[in-house]
């Protein structure tokens, strides 16, 4: 009798390799799921668990008063579990899962895993500049600046304009 964990791991590994060899094959239906979640500043800077996760370390925070760069730094360091200023695949996957928690609720566990693996692979493929298998903080910042959507740039401009008019 085989170990169920090993069998499950084999299934995901085999299925993942099959997906890599056939890039047109999609893991799950992606309708309504922001595939750019890791690069979407509105997802990163507004995801609800950031404040709760930071509270034990920094006390009560007012996220509205933080800049997008500060929020991005906290998002990165919050998911850097081994505190080496690099995100490995599992840390990226956890960040994506946390960011998409509400969206992923409608998927099965298998669909969620396939989607998260696919998205993590895409992040590393596009953003891991030195191809070492880790996303260093400078690579993360570069990817955020490179992929900033016009919407988030307009949102930031509007926020800054509103804060200067109030002050």
Q: CB–CB of 42/94 below 8 Å?
A: no
Max Cα separation, the chain? 69
Question: pTM of the entire structure?
Answer: 0.68
Q: Where are the domains of the chain?
A: 4-166
In tens digits, what is the pLDDT along the chain, a chain of 167 residues? 445 444 444 444 445 444 444 444 444 556 777 777 888 777 766 556 677 777 777 777 777 778 888 888 988 998 999 999 999 999 999 999 988 888 888 899 999 999 999 999 999 999 999 999 999 999 999 998 877 654 444 444 445 555 555 65
H-helix or E-strand spanning residue 70: helix 68-79
Question: By CB neighbour count within 10 A (0-12 exposed, 13-18 middle, 19+ buried), where does 144 fall?
Answer: buried
**What pLDDT score was predicted for residue 137?**
96
| DSSP class of 24 | T
Return the CATH architecture of domain 4-166: Orthogonal Bundle (1.10)
């Amino acid at each position: 009798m085989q170990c169920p964990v090993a069998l499950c791991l084999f299934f995901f590994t085999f299925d993942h390799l099959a997906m890599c060899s056939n890039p047109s094959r999609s893991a799950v239906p992606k309708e309504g799921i922001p595939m750019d979640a890791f690069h979407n500043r509105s997802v990163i800077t507004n995801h609800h668990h950031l404040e709760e996760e930071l509270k034990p370390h920094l006390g009560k925070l007012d996220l509205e008063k933080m800049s997008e760069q500060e929020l991005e730094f906290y998002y990165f360091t919050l998911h850097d579990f081994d505190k080496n200023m690099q995100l490995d695949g599992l840390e990226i996957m956890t960040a994506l899962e946390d960011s998409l928690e509400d969206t992923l609720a409608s998927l099965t566990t298998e669909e969620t895993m396939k989607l998260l693996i696919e998205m993590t692979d895409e992040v590393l493929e596009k953003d891991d500049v030195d191809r070492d298998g880790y996303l260093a903080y400078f690579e993360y910042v570069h990817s955020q600046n490179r992929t900033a959507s016009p919407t988030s740039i307009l949102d930031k401009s509007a926020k800054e304009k509103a804060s200067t008019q109030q002050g």
